[in-house]
Amino acid sequence: MASIGLSVPPGLTISTEACQEYQEYGKKLPEGLWEEILEAFECVEKEMGAKLGDSSKPLLLSVRSGAAISMPGMMDTVLNLALNDEVVAGLASRSGERFAYDSYRRFLDMFGNVVMGISHSLFEEKLEDLKAAKGVKLDTELKASDLKELVALYKTVYLEAKGEQFPSDPKEQLQLAVKAVFDSWDSPRAIKYRSINQITGLKGTAVNIQCMVFGNMGNTSGTGVLFTRNPSTGEKKLYGEFLINAQGEDVVAGIRTPEDLDTMKQCLPEAYKELVQNCEILERHYKDMMDIEFTVQENRLWMLQCRSGKRTGKGAVRIAVDMVNEGLVDARSAIKMVEPQHLDQLLHPQFEDPSSYKDNVIATGLPASPGAAVGQVVFSADDAETWHAQGKSVILVRTETSPEDVGGMHAATGILTARGGMTSHAAVVARGWGKCCVSGCSDLRVNDSEKVVLIGDKIIKEGEWLSLNGSTGEVIMGKQTLAPPAISGDLETFMSMVDEIRSLKVMANADTPEDAQTARNNGAQGIGLCRTEHMFFASDERLKAVRQMIMAVTPEQRKKALDLLLPYQRSDFEGIFRAMDGLPVTIRLLDPPLHEFLPEGDIEQMVSELTSDTGMTEEEVFSKVEKLSEVNPMLGFRGCRLGISYPELTEMQARAIFQAAISMSNHGVQVFPEIMVPLVGTPQELGHQVSLIRSIAEKVFSEMGTSLGYKVGTMIEIPRAALIADEIAKEAEFFSFGTNDLTQMTFGYSRDDVGKFLPVYLSKGILPSDPFEVLDQKGVGQLIKMATDKGCGARPSLKVGICGEHGGEPSSVAFFAEVGLDYVSCSPFRVPIARLAAAQVAA
């Protein structure tokens, strides 16, 4: 900032590489680093005309983490570093005892807590005891002599907790503080945060050391934090908090309630004017919305820290669109300013009709993070994680959240706190995740031990339903109805910029006409995966016919059951073709093992039904069911292995598809059916199914007196298929990578069982992320690249895409684009995210 002409307190930064070396070499400072730091300090001392530990002209420091991304668990700022008895004595004689001893006791508390690991509550206890003894309520009521007494008490805390004196050498303090920042990189909270947010590229944290400036030097001083635009809405207006006569931690700690920036405008108009100018300079320089910390010392504005500001999805989109309109950035840069996760927030539900729940609003807090949330109340982070794991939606209710709660906050669908402002821990973390949060709701009385919360006169117990509106701060009784989000306004503008830039197509995985419509609304350019088995579950009649088909002993029995299924399948396909008029629809033939269609556990009812429907004896039915069970169903009798063993099955499905296609085409719908054969591992398997499908097509075309174009292709989801993709491509008009199964087989991980060891693997760093969420580019990606190259080499017209769950995961989408795939297919709700990710890799 200094380089663009803003006043910044002198200081120095220790690089992230130093932190990495520190971590790697047994938590020791890299050789020579300390000497370099001291050397650099000599320059600072010259510039400031002050010296570390000098009692007449002392240089005081603030030390903090300079991580590129702010994350919980990283060491908080230590202010006033380099104080000791001598320096304080000098300070007292120059700036008054009150200022000196207040600074000293704050430093002792902070340093003890964040550097030495002494619990803050031990210091707090001494403070409260003293206040009680002195008969005062507020810290500010303590006299200078009281503060001096407090300093002595704080020093005993060190002695009791650590068995040694507080380190009074300023250089030793500095070294300990630098190490504490480095160490905090590896704190469990920081690791958990990085894991949740999939932050893997960073190697460590930088350390910022700055000369102190003081916001607590009376009413011409103050301190504040701000965003250059509103991080929730994106509105172009400074958004922040300010405290007069205060130091930085007073704002963030939530002890004094911070005031609006307008307060600063009134009290310190000159400094405020300069701040506004500085914000404009910084936005022009960094071409982004900035998060700024500043201090005013005796009317002089100092810029302490500045980084890109975290924002909500809504904010990110508006800022990107506005900055293009303001001429600050071009479209290619703008689409990189919105993270795919941001869109995810925007695509989160809102309340269907906010006016309808007005009577049920029982309190209103701060609109800390927008969106709507509906869930059951829990009172601890652990409960939130447990209930979430059981598939429940929960609202985490806390007096205030602490970094220890981060796991439970992530698990919760919404967060409600009694205390804390818009920049409180809960608010900042929730906004980062786009999770609905209402903070500072002062009507709340939370009783953790009884697991109840009093809101006004209502008592709400654990497990009761509550709804939160994070955009208004409303807390609403009961389970309010949510509405799916829509693409309009800024988002619509933004998505059109996105679509102009990307070349990778985005399709959707959809099994019903309704899903197909949602996909289309979200901008899907076709259906990349329509799973026919879902149709088999759609009604009792269908399931009954499916079970007869499974139980069939002869091909004739099987055909009879399949004839019952044909009309259902045909009408489903008609609906989907209609919804996707003009766009391709890729239909996958039956994939799962047949026993998935049998009821779990008690099968008596099914057995009695089947004996009456098929004329088999109970014993025969049981024996057939027994035969269907498998040791490793994932690697068993499924996919094209079914259609090859029972060609009648493929015939029925192909017939249903072609009949539906011709019938819709006769109604003027533009139909582009693509039939996909699952679980192919050899060209012979695919060849078998392709010729069966083509022969059925010919039959249906001649029966119905007309024909149409269609494609036949295959899933590439078995490692062998990728290895011999050139041979497979000779039989296939398209490839669609099934990255779920491909990941299962490439790693040898059963997705159903991976929970037994994946958490250990992630926590020990054996895997950087869950490979079922983020594509493993090295292994699975290598197969995808190999298969794409071999496949297109053998058949240049080959269309190649993916339809696994990675199709909606941004870093994976970027990989697919780089490898040269034609399309990705993902769930309808993730289509906009995939569109953005595809554009970002092209931009």
Applying CB under 8 A, which of residues 191, 723, 842, 843 lies at the interface with a second copy? 723
The separation between CA 809 and the C-alpha centre of its own chain, rounded to angstroms, equals: 11
DSSP reduced 3-state for 186: coil
* Other Cβ atoms within 10 Å of 713 Cβ, number: 25
Task: Identify which of residues 253 and 724 has a Cβ nearer to a second copy in the complex.
Answer: 724
Distances (CA, A) of 562 to 72, 550, 654: 58, 10, 12
Q: Which of residues 674-713 bind a second copy (CB under 8 A)?
A: 679, 681-682, 684-685, 688
DSSP reduced 3-state for 375: strand
Task: Identify which of residues 153 and 644 has a Cβ nearer to a second copy in the complex.
Answer: 644
Residue 815: φ, ψ to 5°: -60, -45
What is the nearest approach in angstroms of a second copy to the Cβ of residue 637? 4
Residue 400: φ, ψ to 5°: -150, 155
Kindly indicate which of the ranges 50-58, 189-197, 215-223, 745-753 contains the residues binding a second copy, using the contact rule CB under 8 A.
745-753
DSSP alpha helix (H) spans, 11-111: 16-24, 33-48, 85-95, 97-110
**191 is a site residue for a second copy (CB under 8 A):** no
What is the nearest approach in angstroms of a second copy to the Cβ of residue 286? 37
Applying CB under 8 A, which of residues 749, 816, 823, 829 lies at the interface with a second copy? 749
Applying CB under 8 A, which of residues 753, 773, 793, 820 lies at the interface with a second copy? 753
Kindly indicate which of the ranges 8-16, 71-79, 505-513, 624-632 contains the residues binding a second copy, using the contact rule CB under 8 A.
624-632
Residue 831: φ, ψ to 5°: -55, -45
State how far the Cα of 790 lies from the Cα of 784, in Å rounded to an integer: 10
What is the nearest approach in angstroms of a second copy to the Cβ of residue 651? 16
State how far the Cα of 657 lies from the Cα of 666, in Å rounded to an integer: 14
For the record, the structure tokens of 132 come out as: 């009680």
**144 is a site residue for a second copy (CB under 8 A):** no
Applying CB under 8 A, which of residues 48, 130, 267, 634 lies at the interface with a second copy? 634
Task: Identify which of residues 87 and 718 has a Cβ nearer to a second copy in the complex.
Answer: 718
**624 is a site residue for a second copy (CB under 8 A):** no
3-state secondary structure 260-287: EHHHHHHHCHHHHHHHHHHHHHHHHHHC
Task: Identify which of residues 326 and 753 has a Cβ nearer to a second copy in the complex.
Answer: 753
What is the nearest approach in angstroms of a second copy to the Cβ of residue 533? 17
Task: Identify which of residues 659 and 746 has a Cβ nearer to a second copy in the complex.
Answer: 746
Applying CB under 8 A, which of residues 483, 757, 773, 793 lies at the interface with a second copy? 757
**761 is a site residue for a second copy (CB under 8 A):** yes
The owner of tokens 């696994």 is 804
Among candidate residues 530, 803, 806, 826, the one labeled active-site is 803
Q: Which of residues 777-816 bind a second copy (CB under 8 A)?
A: 778-780, 782-783
Task: Identify which of residues 249 and 620 has a Cβ nearer to a second copy in the complex.
Answer: 620
**631 is a site residue for a second copy (CB under 8 A):** yes
Task: Identify which of residues 484 and 647 has a Cβ nearer to a second copy in the complex.
Answer: 647
Applying CB under 8 A, which of residues 89, 724, 762, 843 lies at the interface with a second copy? 724
Kind of pairing between the strands at 711-716 and 672-677: parallel
Kindly indicate which of the ranges 47-55, 570-578, 636-644, 651-659 contains the residues binding a second copy, using the contact rule CB under 8 A.
636-644
Task: Identify which of residues 137 and 764 has a Cβ nearer to a second copy in the complex.
Answer: 764
Distances (CA, A) of 586 to 509, 525, 532, 824: 9, 12, 10, 12
Nearest by Cα to 833 from 809, 811, 817:
809
What is the nearest approach in angstroms of a second copy to the Cβ of residue 779? 4
DSSP alpha helix (H) spans, 532-617: 532-536, 540-551, 555-579, 604-614
Distances (CA, A) of 519 to 509, 800, 814, 817, 831: 8, 20, 20, 20, 7
State how far the Cα of 584 lies from the Cα of 689, in Å rounded to an integer: 21
Contact predicate 244/263, CB 8 Å: yes
Q: Is 425 a catalytic residue?
A: yes
Applying CB under 8 A, which of residues 286, 747, 762, 843 lies at the interface with a second copy? 747
**765 is a site residue for a second copy (CB under 8 A):** yes
For the record, the structure tokens of 424 come out as: 């409180």
Task: Identify which of residues 488 and 645 has a Cβ nearer to a second copy in the complex.
Answer: 645
Instruction: Give residues with Cβ within 8 angstroms of 838, minimum separation 6.
Output: 502, 503, 504, 506, 813, 814, 817, 824
Kindly indicate which of the ranges 301-309, 472-480, 631-639, 828-836 contains the residues binding a second copy, using the contact rule CB under 8 A.
631-639
Task: Identify which of residues 266 and 782 has a Cβ nearer to a second copy in the complex.
Answer: 782
Among candidate residues 410, 425, 688, 806, the one labeled active-site is 425
Q: Which of residues 220-249 bind a second copy (CB under 8 A)?
A: none
**663 is a site residue for a second copy (CB under 8 A):** no
What is the nearest approach in angstroms of a second copy to the Cβ of residue 628? 9
Nearest by Cα to 357 from 376, 377, 334, 374:
374
Task: Identify which of residues 53 and 636 has a Cβ nearer to a second copy in the complex.
Answer: 636
**718 is a site residue for a second copy (CB under 8 A):** yes
DSSP reduced 3-state for 16: helix
To which H or E segment does residue 838 belong?
helix 831-842
Strand arrangement of the beta sheet that strand 444-447 belongs to? 444-447, 452-455, 458-461
What is the nearest approach in angstroms of a second copy to the Cβ of residue 447? 32
Q: Is 803 a catalytic residue?
A: yes
Kindly indicate which of the ranges 73-81, 103-111, 193-201, 757-765 contains the residues binding a second copy, using the contact rule CB under 8 A.
757-765
In eight-state DSSP terms, residue 806 is G
What is the nearest approach in angstroms of a second copy to the Cβ of residue 614? 20
Residues at the site binding a second copy, with contacts judged by CB under 8 A: 630-637, 641, 644-645, 679, 681-682, 684-685, 688, 717-720, 723-724, 727, 741, 744-750, 752-754, 756-757, 760-761, 764-767, 776, 778-780, 782-783
The catalytic site residues sit at 425, 803
